Amino acid sequence: MGFQPTKAIHMLLVVCAAASSIIDCNEGFGTYYYDIEQVDSCGTTFRNQNKGGLMCSPAVLLSLDQINTNSVVAMNRTQLGFNPSLYCGKRVVVSVNGQPSDLQLFIGDGCERCSVGSSSSNIWDAQSAPGLDFSYSVLDHLSGGNACNAGHIAISWEILDEKLYEFDESSLGLPFVDQPMLSNAVAVEPSVKCSEPSETPTDIFIRANAT
């Protein structure tokens, strides 16, 4: 099954006149940890993972099931915890082999593996490697249908200053002090130089009040 945005959320079409600025970029590895549509896939089930609360929703503790979309992306949890209001809900453009994907993805959660080790490492390690964590469907789309066999793929990404999902702003003003700071956490500075994105309008804005 190809990746399709979940329809059970309110969507407001907007047109952006100019490109959004890049607030972060890096290279690393893409993996998967949940899936709302393909709950039982690749010899496993995502039922428990789908019930987990999102790092970008500490006040009301929304779960992946409640948000009901496969577009949630998990990033370096230490970096996210330092400045949640900068990242939460922001659009992520993921590239594979230098080709940017047109999937509408946004930051919503923290990835522990992504926050351990060196932010410039190009060696895969399931416990400590820079990257992003996706839904199984998204990784399968990005990998050309090879998510189950490969488990991870090399990616690069840009986080744009463009909000696709509106989390509760009252819970995003301060750092997430209850998140453990790992002694060997990845530095928050990007290891690659960000270039300005091309002027491609974005036409989907996802509101937080899922049905």
Strand, helix or coil for residue 27: strand
Grade residue 196 by pLDDT with cuts at 50, 70 and 90.
low
- List Cβ neighbours of 31 (8 Å cut-off, separation of 6 or more): 113, 131, 132, 133, 134, 139, 151, 152
What domains appear along the chain, each with residue ranges and CATH number?
11-206 (2.40.40.10)
Hey, which bits of 52-190 come out as E strands? 72-76, 90-96, 99-100, 105-111, 131-135, 153-163
Q: Is the pLDDT of residue 179 over 70?
A: no
Contact at 8 Å (CB) between 42 and 146?
A: no
Q: Residue type at 184? A: N
How many angstroms separate the CA atoms of 145 and 88, rounded? 28
DSSP H helical ranges for the chain:
47-50, 64-67, 77-82, 84-87, 136-142, 147-150
Q: Which of 53-57, 150-154, 176-180, 189-193 has the lowest mean pLDDT?
A: 176-180
Strand partners, 105: 92
How many angstroms separate the CA atoms of 49 and 54, rounded? 10
Grade residue 118 by pLDDT with cuts at 50, 70 and 90.
confident
Position 201 scores a pLDDT of: 35
Q: Is the pLDDT of residue 173 over 70?
A: no
Position 2 scores a pLDDT of: 57
For residue range 88-111, what is the model confidence (pLDDT) as tens digits?
999 999 999 999 999 999 999 999
The highest-confidence range among 15-29, 77-91, 162-176, by mean pLDDT, is 77-91
How many angstroms separate the CA atoms of 195 and 170, rounded? 31
Position 72 scores a pLDDT of: 98
Q: What percent of the chain has pLDDT over 90?
A: 65
